Amino acid sequence: MELEGLKRSLTFLDDRGMTVNCIVTDRHPQIQKYLREEAKITQFYDVWHVEKGLSKKLEPMCKKKEFVKLRPWIQSIRRHMYWTAKTSNTADIRAAKWRAIVNHACNKHKHKDEPLFPKCLHPPRLTRDKNKWLTPGSPLVYKLDKLLYSKRLLKDVEKLSPHHQTSSLESYHSVVIKFAPKSVAFKYIGMLCRLYLAGLHYNENAGRPQKIGQNGKPQWKLAFPKARKGECRARPIKVDATFGYVAGLMDLIFDTVLLQPEPNEGNCNT
């Protein structure tokens, strides 16, 4: 279904004279093959999807007694992946920056084997807790090196999107679930109307500004995502949602549909 939806979307854009130079998706195998061989469109990967897959492999490692030292580094590895994608313009530089993460965790900030990224960009820092660094040559470093530098993951890192992500699409899907819960089965026309409502609501409220407090500063809140298992994040507090589209729909119903119901009933049946 995902591949068929992509084909129809690209056909829809092509029929209206729009040229797609690149596209950001997850790592769906069929979509990869279609974009590479048939559509001839440059594909980038959404960073969140790649990071999520890596986190699922890192979390079980921390439960082992000999690998407990990895726990404080998981968040740093996640952030390093986002930083790598954001600050790199080519696939080679993305791969070079990513390959520096294990050296950094071992307190080695010069990378002789990486001419494209010879040293870390952060300023030199002195730490009082030397136990936080990983030990080179240890079983943990060997396991981490094998996981982070696998051929498949390196290829995925090379294709990370440097600019655009699929977060806005994920936000739209969360709005759709509110209008059409997955636990309820709807008929075609009912599902179609709910999708239209979700689209109207999202388009009106997607760009809401951040709330400003009485002190004149933007307001934030702490969030504890379930997927992060106790980790907190600072999220901006947006202004309250508006429902201006409801008034437009009411005007349409009373001014058009009720006055001439036959044409509109025909459109709904189709």
Q: In which band, very low, low, confident or very high, does the pLDDT at 106 lie, cut at 50, 70 and 90? A: very high
Per-residue confidence (pLDDT) for residue 266, from 0 to 100: 55
Among 143-152, 156-165, 233-242, 261-270, which is the least confidently predicted range?
261-270
Structure tokens at 141: 């470093």
Average pLDDT, the chain: 91
Rounded Cα–Cα distance for residues 98 and 90 (Å) = 13
Q: In which band, very low, low, confident or very high, does the pLDDT at 265 lie, cut at 50, 70 and 90? A: low
Indicate whether 269 pLDDT > 70: no
Between 165 and 263, residue with greater pLDDT: 165
Helices 74-86/151-158 angle, 10° precision: 40
Per-residue confidence (pLDDT) for residue 230, from 0 to 100: 67
Domains in the chain: boundaries:
2-45, 47-158, 191-269
Q: Map tokens 């591949």 to a residue.
A: 3
Mean pLDDT over 135-146 rounds to 93
Q: How far is CA 89 from the centre of its chain?
A: 19
Indicate whether 270 pLDDT > 70: no
Mean pLDDT over 164-190 rounds to 94
Between 216 and 224, residue with greater pLDDT: 216
Kindly report, residue by residue over 81-102, the tens digit of the pLDDT: 999 999 999 999 999 999 999 9
Kindly report, residue by residue over 23-63, the tens digit of the pLDDT: 999 999 999 999 999 999 999 999 999 999 999 999 899 88
Indicate whether 244 pLDDT > 90: yes
Between 177 and 261, residue with greater pLDDT: 177
Structure tokens at 136: 């080179």
Rounded Cα–Cα distance for residues 164 and 226 (Å) = 25
Rounded Cα–Cα distance for residues 29 and 22 (Å) = 17
Per-residue confidence (pLDDT) for residue 267, from 0 to 100: 55
Per-residue confidence (pLDDT) for residue 128, from 0 to 100: 77
